[in-house]
Amino acid sequence: MDQDLKVEHIDTGLSDQSTVSFYRQGEFVDLCRGPHIPDAGKIKAIKLMSVAGAYWKGDASGRQLQRLYGTAFFDKKELAAYLEQLEEAKRRDHRVLGKQHGLFAINPEVGQGLCLWLPKGARVRVTLEEFLRRELLTRGYDPVFSPHIGRVELYETSGHFPYYRDSQFSPLFGSEAGGLVDAWNQRLVDGTLDSDSEEKLMEAAKVLGAEFPDYKSSASNEEKQKVLHRWQTVHERYLIKPMNCPHHCHMFKAMPRSYRQLPLRLFEFGTVYRHEQTGELNGMLRVRGLTQDDAHIFCTGDQVEQEFKATIELTKFVLNAVGLDDYRVQLSLRDPDSDKYVGSEENWDHAEGALRGVLENSGLDFNEEPGEAAFYGPKADFMVRDCIGRSWQLGTVQLDYNLPERFKLEYTGSDNATHRPVMIHRAPFGSLERFTGMLIEHFAGAFPMWLSPEQVRVLPLSDKSLDYAVAVAKQFDEAGLKVTIDNNDGKVQAKIRNAQLDLVNYMAVVGPKEAEAGQVALRDRIDGDLGSMPIAEAIARLKDEIATRKVRQAVKSSISTAAAVDSGATGHEY
């Protein structure tokens, strides 16, 4: 076959496999794991999408190849619908709309994957935060704040370091020798340290003021690691915070806890940092600095069901509030044949049964995925469809038996004995960056009134009406509306067009007639001219739309369910 790269892949990448599968289609034979259709004649529509360069196995020093991207469908109608969906997705690209409407920016001098929230985007974010904060306070959550860094030992206790080291930023060191000792220790862990390199590292560390008298007498790599780790513990190392959970565990431990205080619900909008690979970054959807709407609930085993139900209801409430009402839940359960899970079998049985029961009683569409649970507990993920049928994993609820054990969390029960609480992680948004990026694409930048960064724009007919326009804007502002004035020269028709292009929800046109009557001529971005009305009536109308969080549909999507990439594609354009 002359396929030397595939032979290499068999020898290296598949060497641990007991069998290797091939596929034959007529005279064509290839290495492939399947699955396959029985007859290529069933494919009625194919299309080459793009061609790109690629390196063999992603190694830039390896052979350069050409990668072909293509797609296939059972009929031409499905292909046409799929291509239309791709075009619609391009029109809704949040990176393009974000720049066009001044929502956010990413600058390489600041850093790739670090989102700069511009004023309009920041208004959307603040609105989301305030909406959720108010709701959490009414549901019995307590706000907390945690610092942006923490000692490495904190994340060693939680198990996040060094196991997820590749996705974390390098530690910050309190000693000049810190970075050298960290790299030294990592080579011991990897088993890549030879004696010559070891001597050089010891000399270099000595120059930087770090000496290890017990190192040479250590009999094994494990003992040497302990020597270095003792030094690292004394000479503080910090991580830029990759997650909030360990901080919240110590907040629980900050004082003695009684069963009477449970459930304890702690929440914060906590910014965390992940060292995502450059090629994986994608606008706001995949970033290196992200703000999570993070909460951790500490409860007794008997309270798991009621707390899980409450978090599911909260997530439904949040998604419905922004018009995302097409979703299902994936319930991830343990693999009964695996021993990777922490916690007793009794706890797992109880937790999985409770979660399943809550979902069954909720009326939600859900599916179970055995073996997909995290090692520390089962979880439920909300899979949300946007208006063009794409599937997004947004809200999540996770049970955790691991961190309470690792941090030795305790409360005093009604029997006067100490017990471990159960921990529940939950985040309806996931992260504000990703959630906002998704909303930009879902609404094509045209946010509903309650989320909009510019809810109403006052348009004076001429400079003669500018003073009245300022007075009208002042009343709108005092009523809590996000208002601007277009005081540029030009005809009002051009101002209306600009406001439409800027996706402003309402336009208040004012001229001599409106000034004399104390009115505004109100225009709706969707419905057009609404006629003249008193200022108070216009304000009441706009505030009612905000208070009810109305999400109005402008145009139904024409993309068929069959064409959706990951899910059905019913929905609407805004």
* Active-site annotation holder among 245, 249, 299, 387: 245
* CA atoms of 11 and 271, how far apart (whole Å): 44
**How far apart are the two ends of the chain, measured CA to CA in Å?**
53
Q: Please give the order of strands across the beta sheet that includes 422-427.
A: 142-143, 264-273, 289-299, 422-427, 391-400, 379-385, 327-333, 366-370
Residues belonging to the binding site are: 245, 296, 425
| Residue pair 328/365 in contact by the 8 Å Cβ criterion | yes
Residues 6+ apart with CB under 8 A from 37: 43
Residues 6+ apart with CB under 8 A from 532: 513, 514, 517, 519, 520, 521, 522
| Residue pair 144/266 in contact by the 8 Å Cβ criterion | yes
Rounded to 5°, angle at Cα 320 from 318 and 323: 120
* Active-site annotation holder among 379, 434, 482, 523: 379
H or E element at residue 454: none
Token code pair at residue 236: 């503080």
Catalytic, 442? Answer no
Distances (CA, A) of 560 to 47, 86, 223, 517, 570: 18, 12, 63, 50, 7
* CA atoms of 251 and 254, how far apart (whole Å): 5
Find the length of the chain.
574
Catalytic, 245? Answer yes
* Active-site annotation holder among 94, 120, 160, 296: 296
Bond before 35 cis per omega within 30 degrees? yes
| Residue pair 558/570 in contact by the 8 Å Cβ criterion | no
Which one-letter amino acid corresponds to residue 182?
D
Catalytic, 294? Answer yes
* Active-site annotation holder among 241, 385, 419, 425: 425
Q: Which of 224, 141, 209 is nearest to 178 (CA)?
A: 209
* CA atoms of 499 and 506, how far apart (whole Å): 8
Residues belonging to the binding site for Zn(2+) are: 245, 296, 425
Helices (H), ranges, 322-431: 345-362, 402-406
Token code pair at residue 212: 């290890």
Cα 182 vs. chain centroid, distance in angstroms? 30
Catalytic, 296? Answer yes
Torsion of CA 509, 513, 514, 516, to 10 degrees: 150
Q: Which of 44, 24, 46 is nearest to 34 (CA)?
A: 24
329 SS3 class: strand
Angle between helix axes 304-321 and 345-362 (nearest 10 degrees) is 40
* Active-site annotation holder among 168, 292, 303, 519: 292
* Active-site annotation holder among 151, 165, 274, 350: 274
Spell 501-524 as b/e; 16+ CB within 10 A means b.
ebbbbbbbbbbeebbeeebbbbbe
Locate the DSSP E strands across 182-302.
237-240, 264-273, 289-299
* CA atoms of 489 and 447, how far apart (whole Å): 27
Within 13 Å and on the Cβ side, how many CA atoms surround 116?
11
* Active-site annotation holder among 115, 288, 294, 482: 294
Residues known to be catalytic: 245, 274, 292, 294, 296, 379, 425
